[in-house]
Amino acid sequence: MFTGIIEALGQISDMQSRGTDYRITISTGKLDMSDVKIGDSIATNGVCLTAVELGEHHYVADVSIETIKRSGFAHYKKGQAVNLEKAMAATSRFGGHIVSGHVDGVGEVKSITDLGQTWEVWVKAPDSLAKYLAEKGSVTVDGVSLTVNAVNGAEFRLTLVPHTLKETIIQHYKSGTQVNLEVDVIARYLERLMLGDKAAQPNESNDISLAVLAENGYLK
């Protein structure tokens, strides 16, 4: 479990193909690795990865074909800058929102407006994720917990303050940048719960329809 509060900027220092998977080495920059053990999770651009080898300033992780298909790892290369966050401890302060490290899809930066101290950024999410985006709700972008300030269809607006720009890879964004997106986990589970017994039916009937909303008292 993560909070979306980035602890350090890292970099992919090695990336080896292993059939359909990858084994990657991440240089961890200023990330404190003293309490990290083999098997611990580190969010890497919002993707929960398991450390299989450790060094003082790096870790090695395996990236599965599932992760490659669902995230920006499909086009990452050696030298790629990444946001890093260690899994939170039970005693940690919850500074962002509940982040699982399970990326839902890849979005695209559509525009960036420099407002002086802040940036206004519009991101286009996959159409399938539009229903999970709500004004003043939370979204995770490349592992960063952010507030959605406006929604227009599958596009949403973010306002980035100087600290976020300085401490994350968002400072390198430009129009067309591909970003990992994780929607709010509560919205995902709520959608599934509303299906009730219909959740056991094949996937093609697992969409929330007007009939399902009416049956559950949400429509009159």
Residue 66 in tokens: 């599932």
pLDDT (tens place) for every residue of the chain, 220 residues total: 899 999 999 999 999 998 889 999 999 999 999 999 999 999 999 999 999 999 999 999 999 999 999 999 999 999 999 999 999 876 777 777 889 999 999 999 999 999 989 999 999 999 999 999 999 999 999 999 999 999 999 999 999 999 999 999 999 999 999 999 999 988 888 888 888 888 888 865 445 544 544 555 544 5
Report DSSP state, residue 164: H
Residue 172 in tokens: 């390198």
Residue 212's SS3 state is helix
- The answer to whether residues 126 and 154 touch, using CB atoms and an 8 Å cutoff, is yes
Global pTM? 0.87
Question: CA–CA separation, 208 vs 198, rounded Å?
Answer: 10
Residue 124 in tokens: 């286009």
pLDDT of residue 215: 56
Residue 121 in tokens: 């950024």
CA 161 to chain centre: 19
Question: CA–CA separation, 83 vs 59, rounded Å?
Answer: 14
The closest of 13, 1, 73 to 43, measured between CA atoms, is: 1
Q: Which residues contact 208 (CB under 8 A, 6 or more apart)?
A: 131, 191, 194, 195
Across the chain, the runs of DSSP E, i.e. the strands, are 8-18, 21-27, 41-44, 47-55, 58-63, 81-86, 105-114, 119-124, 138-141, 144-147, 150-152, 155-160, 178-183
**Which domains does the chain possess?**
8-86 (2.40.30.20), 105-183 (2.40.30.20), 185-220 (no CATH)
Alpha helices, DSSP H, located in 5-134: 65-70
